[in-house]
Amino acid sequence: MHDKHNKDAIEKSLNRYKKERDWFAFLLQAAEMMDTPEGKLQVKLLRILIDSKEKVIDCSENGKPFIAAYYCTAPELFTAMDLPWFMIMETPFLAASAPYITEDLEGTEEIGLGTDLCTAIRLPIYYIETGQMPVPTAVIGLLSPCDGTTMLQQVLRHNSAWKNVPLFSPDPPYSSDERAIKYFANELRQMVRFIEEHTGHKLDIDRLREVCEESNRCYSLWQEYNELRRAVPCPHGWEIGGAQAFAVSQCFKAGDPRCTDWFRQLVECGEEKIKAGRGANDYAPERIRLLWFDIMPYGWIFEFMPWLEFEWGAILVTDMFSNFPYTLIDTSSEETMFHDLAKRNLMDVPMIRQARGTAENFSSDIVRLVKDYKIDAVIWPGHMGHKDGAATAGIMRATCRDIGVPFLHIGLDLFDRRYTSVDEVKDKVSQFFTGMGLG
């Protein structure tokens, strides 16, 4: 009876997860029909993604250890420990365009969560509270960049099905100096000990070195690719090379040769387009070079991003998630690896970099990206969950004024089209471009 109850609970916890896998399998089928280099990149990426989901399903169904964690909790360590993992906020980050999302968003409201809580936090809470998220062997929690993430871990711990699942959350300091890096490196070491204790998977330092070296190759190629995006016209827009690069490097299996191979192919693809003098969209010549300074609007991306290109020739040249001065890991010793993993996950990775600490990185990143990428306009979407960013809007506006680039703050929900309708967003963007004489 007890076993049957457990089996039912596991099956229920995997329902939504499997649906998500099936959604990606559907996208894979569509991508396989695209006979272009970009289409091949999508295919490769979706295969890595589906494979990572299959591994988690296998672990959950067959009682093998796996963990729930985040992209910014040093995923190289999970790879080195040969430990399958999934991101607790995977759905809003990767699958918010799935057809069942609106139904789930309504579910978050029904369980009584305040609608001003970030949608990316509410969705996983809803899945946890309704038994629709695979219950892992252990959880690595996230305490930055926002208040919502801190509360997500606490609601998770409060839930009856999760309260006995061991949880460790590395504590990110607010400051960004050597003392902060050392402190966070110590938190990562504690995290490793915690994982070893609760999963039985051990960290082999030589294996970590291999993974970090592979991860470095990946990041170097990414950096090379980002140089290509400086070209006018930009070889790629929103469809490839931005969010996917982030996902490949950090969300599935950091330090996996397949990911490096994906980046290699991405660089080749970009180079070929530049040589041919082709821009991101053959049917919509580049007229506006755009910095979208946040996550992409995954909940309604297919209705908005193509419109930007076709209606305005506005090409998303770069965004918050695809362009950072990433630190490569010094693999000379265990100490240097932990130090640099701490630095990368505290000071480099998207969103944590800007929102964890003081507002300086909001301004300095805007200035750097506008200059390096010949940006014509900066859009801060003003996602309803990004409250520290909302309180930085004045600073971003002043920064853009100082460097003479138009700035738009919209106010929307990146995952929920009901918050500000897609038509309203388009209208605001059109008024902005018109008012600024762009396009």
Partner 1 sequence: METNLTSSAFKELAAAASGIMNPAVDDWRSRGGKVVGYFCSHVPTEVLMAAGILPFRMRGTGSTGTELSDAYFSSINCSFPRHTFNQALKGEYDFLDGLLCISSCDHVRRVYDNWKQNLPTPFIRIMSLPKKVGDPQVAWYREEIQILRDELGKHFGVEISDDRLREAIALRNQTRRLQRQLYELRKREHPPISGAETLAVMVAGSSIPAEPYNQLLRTLLDDLAQSNGSREYRARLMVVGSELDDPEYLDIIEGQGGLVVTDSICYGTRTMWVDVDETAADPVGALARYYIQERPSCPRMNGDQARRSQFLQDLIREFQVDGVIGERMLFCDFWCAEHYMNKVDLKEVGIPFLQLDREYILSGKGQLRTRIQAFLETMGR
> Residue 81 region, left (φ>0) first, then alpha (ψ -120 to 50), else beta?
alpha
Q: Does 113 bind partner 1 (CB under 8 A)?
A: yes
Select from 78, 141, 66 the least CA-distant residue to 341.
Answer: 78
Q: Does 180 bind partner 1 (CB under 8 A)?
A: yes
Q: Does 187 bind partner 1 (CB under 8 A)?
A: yes
What's the token pair of residue 430? 């059109």
Distances, alpha carbon 260 to alpha carbons 140, 222, 256, 420, in Å: 25, 9, 7, 38
Q: Does 414 bind partner 1 (CB under 8 A)?
A: no
253 or 343: whose CB is closer to partner 1? 343
CB neighbours (10 Å) of residue 294? 21
Of the chain, the end-to-end C-alpha distance in Å amounts to 66
Binding mask 144-163 for partner 1 (x = CB under 8 A): x-xxx-xxxxxx-xx-----
Nearest distance from C-beta of residue 154 to partner 1, angstroms: 5
Q: What type of residue is 369?
A: L
Handedness of CA 112, 118, 119, 125 (dihedral sign): negative
Listed ranges 239-247, 290-298, 333-341, 350-358: which one lies at the site for partner 1 (CB under 8 A) = 350-358
Q: Does 190 bind partner 1 (CB under 8 A)?
A: yes
155 or 422: whose CB is closer to partner 1? 155
Q: Is 353 helix (H, G, I), strand (E, B) or coil?
A: helix
100 or 183: whose CB is closer to partner 1? 183
List 58, 106, 109, 171, residue binding partner 1 (CB under 8 A): 171
Residue 118 DSSP one-character state: -
Q: Does 64 bind partner 1 (CB under 8 A)?
A: no
Select from 115, 162, 121, 161 the least CA-distant residue to 138.
Answer: 162
Q: Does 172 bind partner 1 (CB under 8 A)?
A: yes
Contact 438, 288 (CB under 8 A): yes
Contact 71, 344 (CB under 8 A): no
Listed ranges 16-24, 49-57, 111-119, 207-215: which one lies at the site for partner 1 (CB under 8 A) = 111-119
Residues at the site binding partner 1, with contacts judged by CB under 8 A? 112-114, 116-118, 121, 125, 141, 143-144, 146-148, 150-155, 157-158, 167, 169, 171-175, 179-180, 183, 186-187, 190, 355, 357-360, 382, 384, 387-388, 390-395, 398, 409, 411
